[in-house]
Amino acid sequence: MQIDVKGRNVQVSEQLRERLRRRLDKVSKQVSELARLEVEVYEERNPSIADCQVAEATLYLKGATLRARDASPDMDHSLKLVVDELARQVKRHRDKRRHRRDGHAAAAEAGAAEAGAAE
């Protein structure tokens, strides 16, 4: 999985990139090598917003695009929340695809059994 990390009004350090890569290990095992993940981190400059550290992630898969956005007072916590949300979405997407595939296989077997019984 290709990971691109961008910072808007925030300097993206190597430590932040490494922490993000470690957190994304679970997600990267579940998606294709061709998947692309774009993570954007930024800071809200409005003093009335308490959750000023924002992380957004967009995962481009074959046939689907998954997005997650979260904010908190700490950037590490925002990244953790985004990765958890993305992991949940990837799991749900994989389960839906698996369910569809199993449903098509069961229908094909039933159709073949009916065709064999009709002869």
Condensed to tens digits (0 to 9), the pLDDT of residues 104-113 reads 666 677 766 6
The better pLDDT of the pair 33, 86 is held by 86
Structurally, the chain folds into a number of domains equal to 1
Q: For 37-84, how does the pLDDT look when each residue is reduced to its tens digit (9 = 90+)?
A: 999 999 988 777 778 899 999 999 988 999 999 999 999 999 999 999
The model scores a pTM over 0.85: no
Instruction: Provide the CATH number for the domain around residue 87.
Output: 3.30.160.100
- Report DSSP letters for 30-91, one per residue: HS-TT-EEEEEEEE---TT-S--EEEEEEEEETTEEEEEEEEESSHHHHHHHHHHHHHHHHH
Which pLDDT belongs to residue 46? 78
